[in-house]
Structure formats: C-alpha cells, structure tokens
C-alpha cells in the first residue's frame, strides 16, 4: 500500500541528487511530484504556479534560504503543508521553522521511512 494517493508535491533542494532521491521516493509512494526547485527564488515561483499539496524544503540554498521561503509562504498561504528537509540540525533553526508553521522537520540523512512518517503526519494520513 502506498502512502500517497496522487497528492501533488513540490521538491526544493539545491542538490540534483537529493531532488532525484526524493522524487523517486514520492513517485514510488503514489504521490505526484509536480515540480522541483533548485533555489529559494525558484521555490517561490513554482509554489505560486503549482500550489502543491505538499512541499519539502531544504534550507541552505542559493539566492534565498529555505527559512525565508518558509516565512514568505506561511505569510501568504498559512495552510501550506511544508516539511523542512535539511542537514541544518541547529536547534534554534528547527524551532524557528516549526514555530512559524513548518509541519515537520527532518534532518539529513533521512530514509524512506522517516520521510513517509513525516509526510503522514503533515498530511494527516492514517
């Protein structure tokens, strides 16, 4: 049984190989990856365009950091389901993101189980 049922997903990460990995993972689990952004600015543009049901957001990226992307998105679309997926493990960053509205925060390295567990919780999938 796959976790997803066609929900649209936007993947944001500056590393192509990380994007590819998440892409495969989501596609395998029945999600529909509708877009991939490689920096913060592209993330905002693609989010506006695609209005994904779920977004995974890296933090350290060119142009605009994930935390800033999160701030902007939460301000405009407070109901967005955003999972931070980063190797930043600094407690303050983690808290900051959760406080301003990220649903979940997973720290690299993550595996399929960890990602899907976070996805379930973020989307309230039983």
Partner 1 sequence: MSVTDENLAELFEQYKDEVRETIETLDNELVVLEQDPSSSETIFSLFRHMHSLKGSSKMFNVDNIATIAHRLEDLMSMIDKNNSILNKYPKIVDLLFKGNDIFRDIIARLEDDIGYTSMTGDHLNFIAEIQAQIDKINRRDSQLVDSARKLLDDLENLLPAMEEMDIEALKKDITEVTTGLALATLEEDGANQIRFNFNGADLTDSVHTMEDLLAKFKDGKATEEDAKNFVDAANTLYGLLAEVATEDAMSLIAELGDGLTLFSERNLEMDQMMVEFFGSMLSELKEKFQVEVEVPITKVSQTTKSSAVAKEPQVKTIRVDEAKIDLFLESVGRLITKSEILNHLQFSFRKAGVDIGLLRDFSTVSRTISNDIVNLQRSIMEVRQVEMNNILKKFPRLVRDISHKIGKEAEMNIVGERVPIDKSLLDDVEQAMVHIVRNAVDHGLETPDERVAAGKPKRGNVNITVTQEEAAIFIEVADDGRGLDLEKIKAKAVERGAITPEQQLTMPDKEAEMLVFSSGLSTKDQATDLSGRGVGMDVVMTNLKKWNGEVIINNKPGQGLSVGLRLPVTNTLLTKEAIMLRVGKSTFCLPLEFVNEIVTVPKEDVHHHKEGAVFRHRDMVISVINLKALLGLPDVDEPTSDDGEPRIKDDGALDTHGSLVFIILRGKTDTRQSILADEILGQQKIVIKEFELETFRKLPYFNGLTLLGDGRVVLILDSDKLLES
Residues that bind partner 1 (CB under 8 A): 14-18, 20-21, 24-25, 38-40, 42, 60-65, 67-68, 86-95, 98-99, 103-114, 117-118, 121
Nearest-approach distance from CB 106 to partner 1, in angstroms: 6
C-alpha to C-alpha distance for 86 and 27, rounded to whole angstroms: 20
What contacts 39, CB < 8 A, 6 or more positions away? 14, 61, 62, 63, 64
Is residue 108 within 8 A of residue 22, CB to CB? The reply is: no
In this complex, which beta carbon is closest to partner 1, that of residue 7 or of residue 104? 104
C-alpha to C-alpha distance for 77 and 88, rounded to whole angstroms: 24
Is residue 72 within 8 A of residue 41, CB to CB? The reply is: no
Nearest-approach distance from CB 104 to partner 1, in angstroms: 6
Nearest-approach distance from CB 75 to partner 1, in angstroms: 16
Nearest-approach distance from CB 89 to partner 1, in angstroms: 6
């Amino acid at each position: 049984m796959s976790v997803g049922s066609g929900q649209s997903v936007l993947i944001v990460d500056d590393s192509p190989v990380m994007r590819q990995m998440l892409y495969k993972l989501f596609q395998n689990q029945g999600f529909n990856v509708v877009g991939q952004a490689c920096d913060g600015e592209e993330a905002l543009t693609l989010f506006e365009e695609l209005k994904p049901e779920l977004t995974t957001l890296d933090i350290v990226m060119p142009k605009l950091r994930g935390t800033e992307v999160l701030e902007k998105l939460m301000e405009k679309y407070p109901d967005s389901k955003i999972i931070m997926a980063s190797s930043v493990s600094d407690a303050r960053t983690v808290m900051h993101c959760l406080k301003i509205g990220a649903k979940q925060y997973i720290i690299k390295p993550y595996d399929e189980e960890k990602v899907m567990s976070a996805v379930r919780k973020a989307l309230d999938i039983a």
